[in-house]
Structure 1
Amino acid sequence: MYELKTKENDNSVIEFIEAVENPKKREDAYKLLDIFTETSGYPAKMWGPSIIGFGSYHYKYASGHEGDAPLVGFSPRKANFSLYFATGDTKREELLQDFGKHKAGKACVYINKIADIDVEVLKKLITQSITFLKETYPDS
């Protein structure tokens, strides 16, 4: 049976951010931490070894695959920041049009630095993602 690697754990978010080598990326990680914490209303938790997540929900697909995931989150990767928002939400695409410089994958939105994006749109993306997931998975 498939075991999820990305599980909530008790590792320190601050220690994880402090281990980010690039000082500017570390500074932006702290800014993202503040924005996500304030906007989501959830405390930051580590998910797996490298994702900082906020809140959680339990999903179950028609295939029977199920698990838990953060409602929103981010990870300061070497190349860029990965931002995690709900997939399947059509409002996400609308918001991304005004987000600023980014690349969007299926599950992630990638940014190089906070200066490249509109922070107010980021806050809307966080709020919209949480609303969408709570409506989609009401039993979480």
Structure 2
Amino acid sequence: MDALRLDDQVCFAVHAASRALDAVYRRELAALGLTYPQYLVMLVLWERGQVSVKDLGVALRLDSGTLSPLLKRLEAAGVVRRERDPGDERSVLVRLTPEGALLRARAEPLPRRIMEASGMGPDELADLHRTLGRLTRSLTESATRA
């Protein structure tokens, strides 16, 4: 076994799977008028309702330089609204507009279609999700120790 063989690298397997998943999401999300990162923002808002930009960044593991243009485009599309927190003028809150809330119903079939595209069943995907979560936690801890 060659330790530097591309097809034996976990990083490449994760990268290739991520690109393939992105391609399927891109096709599925086109009908909603969303990009994948915008969809992730919407998922947080559908789940939590109003959230600060800071908390949104933490949830999505995105910095404000990446998040701000995403939110600007979502606001221009009329699905979110940003406003200063009346209790803390330094904080910006993001919330769904009525149109953004309605978009949720159109997005509900996506997880099933992604599962079908994956060729995996619910149990396999749940196992994969747990494994990737463990991998992410371990790598994040390792990166912060270095």
TMscore range, shorter length: under 0.3
TM-score scaled by length of structure 2: 0.25
Identify, as 1 or 2, the structure richer in helix: 2
Q: Which has the higher contact order (CA 8 A, sep 6+)?
A: 1
| Larger Rg computed on CA atoms | 2
TM-score scaled by length of structure 1: 0.26
